Each structure stands twice: as structure tokens, then as C-alpha cells.
Amino acid sequence: MQVGLIAAVAIFVAFIVANLSANLERLNIAVGFGFLQRTAGFDIAQSLIPYPPSATYLRAFLAAFANTVLLAVVSISAATVLGLFIALARMSTNPLLSLVALGYIEAVRNIPLLLQLFFWYFSVLGPLPLPRQSFDLFGLVFLNKRGLSLPAPVAGPGFSVFLFVAAAALLAAWFLFRRARLNRIRSGRSSIALLATAIACIAVPLLHVLLGSPVSWEIPELRGLNLAGGVVVIPEFVAMAIGMTVYGSAFIAELIRGGVMTVGKGQTEAGMALGLSRARIYSKIIIPQVFRAIVPPLTGQYITLLKNSSLAAAIGYPDLMLIVAGTTLNQTGQPVEVMAIAMASYLLLNVLISLGGNVVNKRMQLVER
């Protein structure tokens, strides 16, 4: 039966390949990835990598891939933090706060994400003022119709040395914190010396930045009719980041609440009997057990958020769906190769998230003796 099933699958795949080849030949469509070296001839509004006017389709693909990764990282991180706070509010003993959190969760989860993206892009960011009337935060951050202007770091003399020192300090701090944690688990005593050394390893490069000159900051300022300096985040990215963060946080909040419900009430009562505050009970007793229980479904939610980022094409954010599966496909006329690149990119990112979730889950299941 297994041999027969494999043979049936092989026959089906061969039929699909033969049918595809015949259709491509009949339509006189070129096959191959040589088009990646041709000049793309279109601009990308936001790119993390250099994208000159003579950029190739391969460069456009890399820029779109980087934009998708950036959007996913920002949205997943922000949704996790916001989801944690929403979950804590949902379980609050304050009935008003709990009711507000419940309303937030139910409203966000039952409105389609695409509609929410339209709301943030057209209804919230659309009516924003022009640059001269920008909303500003302490004269450092500016929000207007053209996007979000942020201070930009500028490398100065000795920046490469600073990066090396900072990386070494962070590595040493991680090692010392780990040693202090293991020492506390084994002996029950905190190692003040190790913790102080670790803090010093972080503080030294930080003070070097504050007092030295390896990194300076370029502040946006109004020049004429527009803001100059700093870095500008396009409104499409802002709308996507807000929309995906809000949407994902509602689901993550319910995952966390469900994880909290799996922890026995006796542990909370034991913490209260020991005189621990409610915040300390959650941070030291409840939350560590919750994340051990919800890592697998949380990983699935992260994958869903990444796949939902493909909706960015609806509001014009230059991600994989818009640049690769949209513009590149229309210009090259090679649907098989273009769609294969787009699907392989999303598959790679999802597999990486899944592998990371499996590693974290395996690590959290270990019990130290």
C-alpha cells in the first residue's frame, strides 16, 4: 500500500510538471531565473539595504525580503508585550479594567485584519497634518502625513572599536548572569559580585556612548515645507505595524490567560501566605510556568502573524507580496519562478520561526537538578 501511494503521488507530480511544461511552451513563456540579473526599473519606498536606480530584480527581492522580516520582527515583539499586559488586565480583580480588556479582545479578534489595516491607514494616518504641523514628541519624534520621523544614529570615529567592545561586554554580561543564576539555584544565595560585574560590563559601553563620540544622533528638523534629517518610516509600515500588533495581541492575550488558568490556584495562595506581593507572585511563580505551557501555540501565532503580513500589499507596503508576487510578476511575465521565490521565502521564514519555537520549548521543558 505504501509503494502504491508513493507511485500515485509520483504519477500526479509528473502529470502536473508535464502539463505545466506544455502550457509554458504553448504560451511561449521563458523559463529560468536569468531575469533576476536584469534591471528592475522601479523604486521601493522603504529599503533596509541600498537600492540604487539601476538595481536588479534580485536586489528588489532582497529589499522586499528585508522589509518583510523587519515588519514581522517589530509586530511579533510588540504584540507579545501588549498581549501580556492585556492578559494581566483581563485577569485583574478590578471589574472595570477586566471588562475593558474583554471588550478589546472580543472586538479585535472578531474584526478582519484587512479591515483593521484599512482603518489604521485611511482613517487614522490619512487625516494627519502636513510636515509643518507635525505632531512631535519632545522635538525628537515627528508624525505627519508623510510618515514617522525618528532620530538616526550616525557613526563617528572609533565606531568599529566601540561595536567590538560592546559585543564583548554583552557576551561577558550574559556569561556572568548565567553563572549568577546557576549559583543561586545550587546554593540559594545570590552572587552580588557576579551581578555587579555583569552590570558594569553593560554600563561601560553605555557610558562610552553617552560621554564619548563613537555614535551621534541626527535629529529631524523642519526645513522649508518638509522635515530633514533622521530616518523616515513610511506611513504604510506604521499602519501595518500598528494593525498587526493590535490584532496579534488579542490572540496572544487569550493564550497567556489560558496558560495562567492551567496553574493551580494553590500556588498563588501559597505565595500570598508567604507575604509576596501580587506582582511578585506573577513574575516569579505564575508567568514562568505560563510561558512553559504556551510556547507551542505561541509559536503558531507568530507564524500566523508572519503570514498575515502578506496583506501589506493592500495598502502599498513594499513587502514580498507587493514587490515579488506583484510588481516583478507583472513586469517579467514569469509566474512560475516568481511565485516559487515568494512561496519559498515565506516557507523559509515560517520554518525558522518553528525551529526557534521548538528549541525554546525544548529548553523550557528541562528541569534543572
Is 128 a member of any domain? no
Residue 241 has what pLDDT?
93
Residue 351 sits in the same domain as residue 297: yes
Confidence of residue 42 (pLDDT cuts 50, 70, 90): confident
Question: What confidence tens digit (pLDDT) does each residue in 262-278 have?
Answer: 887 888 888 888 888 87
Q: Are residues 258 and 349 in the same domain?
A: yes
pLDDT at 249: 94
**Residue 44 C-alpha from the chain's centroid:** 20
Closest CA to 252 of 294, 196, 211, 219: 294
pLDDT given for residue 208 in this prediction: 65
Torsional class of 193: left (φ above 0), alpha (ψ -120 to 50), beta (otherwise): alpha
Helix/strand number for the chain, H first, E second: 13, 8
Are 186 and 284 contained in the same domain? no
Q: 25 with 44, same domain?
A: no
CATH code: domain of residue 61: 1.10.3720.10
* Together in a domain, 58 and 87: yes
Query: Do the bridges between strand 152-155 and strand 215-218 make them parallel or antiparallel, or are there none, so unpaired?
Result: antiparallel
Residue 131 and residue 144 in contact, taking contact as beta carbons nearer than 8 Å: yes
Give the residue among 149, 158, 152, 105 at the shortest CA–CA distance from 130: 149
Which is it for strands 152-155 and 135-137: parallel, antiparallel or unpaired? unpaired
Question: Of the segments 23-27, 93-97, 150-154, which one has the largest average pLDDT value?
Answer: 93-97
pTM for this predicted structure: 0.81
Higher model confidence: residue 172 or residue 127? Answer: 127
CA pair distance 308, 320, nearest whole angstrom? 12
194/286 same-domain check:
no
Whether residues 89 and 66 fall in one domain: yes
| 187 and 291 together in one domain | no
pLDDT band at 105 (very low <50, low <70, confident <90, very high): very high
Query: Are 43 and 106 in the same domain?
Result: yes
| Residue 369: band (very low, low, confident or very high) from pLDDT cuts 50, 70, 90 | very low
Cβ-based neighbour number of residue 225 at 10 Å: 8
Cα-based distances in Å from 323 to 32, 36, 62, 216:
19, 13, 10, 34
216 within a domain of the structure (yes/no): no
CA distance 237 to 70: 10
User: 46 and 26 share a domain?
Assistant: no
Taking 90 as the threshold, does the pLDDT of residue 17 lie above it?
A: no
Question: Which residues touch 228 (CB under 8 Å, ≥6 apart)?
Answer: 220, 221, 222
Q: From the centroid of its chain, how far is CA 279?
A: 27
| Inside any domain, residue 230 | no
Confirm whether 322 is domain-assigned: yes
Give the number of domains in the chain. 3
pLDDT at 185: 73
pLDDT at residue 277 in the model? 81
| 329 lies in some domain | yes
Instruction: For residue 229, tell me if it sits in a domain.
Output: no
Beta-carbon contacts of 58 under 8 Å, excluding residues fewer than 6 positions away, are 36, 37
CA dist 319 and 236 (Å) reads: 11
Which residues, other chains included, contact 243 with Cβ-Cβ below 8 Å and sequence gap of 6+?
113, 116, 117, 119, 120, 121
Give the domain range for residue 17: 4-30
- 147 falls within a domain: no
Dihedral over alpha carbons 23, 24, 29, 30 (to 10 degrees)? -170
Percentage of residues in the chain having pLDDT higher than 90: 33
**Of 89-103, 144-158, 300-314, where does mean pLDDT reach its minimum?**
144-158
Same domain as 63, residue 18: no
Residue 21 and residue 71 in one domain: no
d(CA 285, CA 295): 17
Long-range contacts (CB closer than 8 Å, 24 or more residues apart) made by 167-173: 169/201, 169/202, 169/204, 169/205, 170/201, 170/202, 172/197, 172/198, 172/201, 173/198, 173/199, 173/201, 173/202
Instruction: Give the pLDDT score at 25.
Output: 76
For residue 342, is it within any domain? yes
Residue type, 240: M
